[in-house]
Chains A and B, each alone.
Chain A
C-alpha cells in the first residue's frame, strides 16, 4: 500500500462549488504539506502543518483552507472554486531522523482538479 494517499485522484467541478481534497499517510510523519503544480511553475506551497496544532500559510494560500484532523490526515478545501484553481495538487509529508532526512518529502500521487 502507498505511504501517502490522496483522494480523489481526479475531479471536475464547476465554478463556485466547494471542494475538499484529502490526504492520508502511514509514514508516521508529523509534517504535512499541500502543493499545487502548474506547467512551467513547478510546485508552489499552499499550506503546511508541522503538527496537529500548527498550521501555516504557504506562498499561495488565498482561496484555500486546510484542516489537520489527525497526525495522519491533512485535507485541503477550496471554499468557492474558480477556473484558475485548475491544477495538479500534491500532498507531501516529512519527518525526523538523520540530519537532512528530515527535509526529504514523500509525495502522494496527486489529484488532478479541473474547475469549469
Chain B
C-alpha cells in the first residue's frame, strides 16, 4: 500500500527566505510523485511531478523537488519565498498498480510567508 507523510502541518518563513516542505512516501513499486498547491478558495493545481526521468524536478513559480529513493523523500524547495507563495501544499504518490492510477495525497502543509 502507498502512503505519504508530510512533516509539519504549518510552515512559516520570511519573504526572501528558503522554503522547504518535507514529504516522505511509501510505495512497493516505483512511484510517481507530485506536489500540488491550493490557493485560498480554489482547487488544487499541479506544481510539479516526478515520473522516473530526472531526479531533480523543476516546477512552476520557481519551485523544485528532488526524488531521493534511498531516503524515500520528495521534498519541495524554493530559494526565495514570495508573499504570493502563501498557500497549502500537498504531496501525492501514485503508481501503475492494479486498479489503475489512483493518487494518495498527504495531509497538506500550509505555508505562511511573513513580510
Identify the A interface with B (CB < 8 A). 4, 31, 35, 40-45, 48, 50, 56, 58, 90, 92, 94, 99-110
Contacts and interface: CB of A to CB of B under 8 A. Distances in A.
Interface of B: 9, 32, 34, 36, 41-46, 49, 51-52, 90, 94, 99-103, 105-108
24 contacts: A31-B101, A35-B105, A40-B107, A40-B108, A41-B107, A42-B105, A44-B105, A48-B102, A50-B100, A90-B44, A92-B44, A100-B32, A100-B51, A101-B51, A103-B103, A104-B34, A104-B49, A105-B44, A105-B103, A107-B36, A107-B43, A109-B41, A109-B42, A110-B42
Contacts of A94: 101
Nearest to B106: A42
Contact of A107 (B44, B94, B106): B44
Nearest to A35: B105
Given A102-B101, A103-B94, A104-B34, A40 B46 contact: no
Contacts, number: 60
A103 B43 contact: no
A90 B43 contact: yes
Q: Which of A44, A106, A107 has the most CB of B within 10 A?
A: A107
Nearest to B104: A45
Given A40-B107, A100-B49, A56 B43 contact: no
Contacts of B52: 100
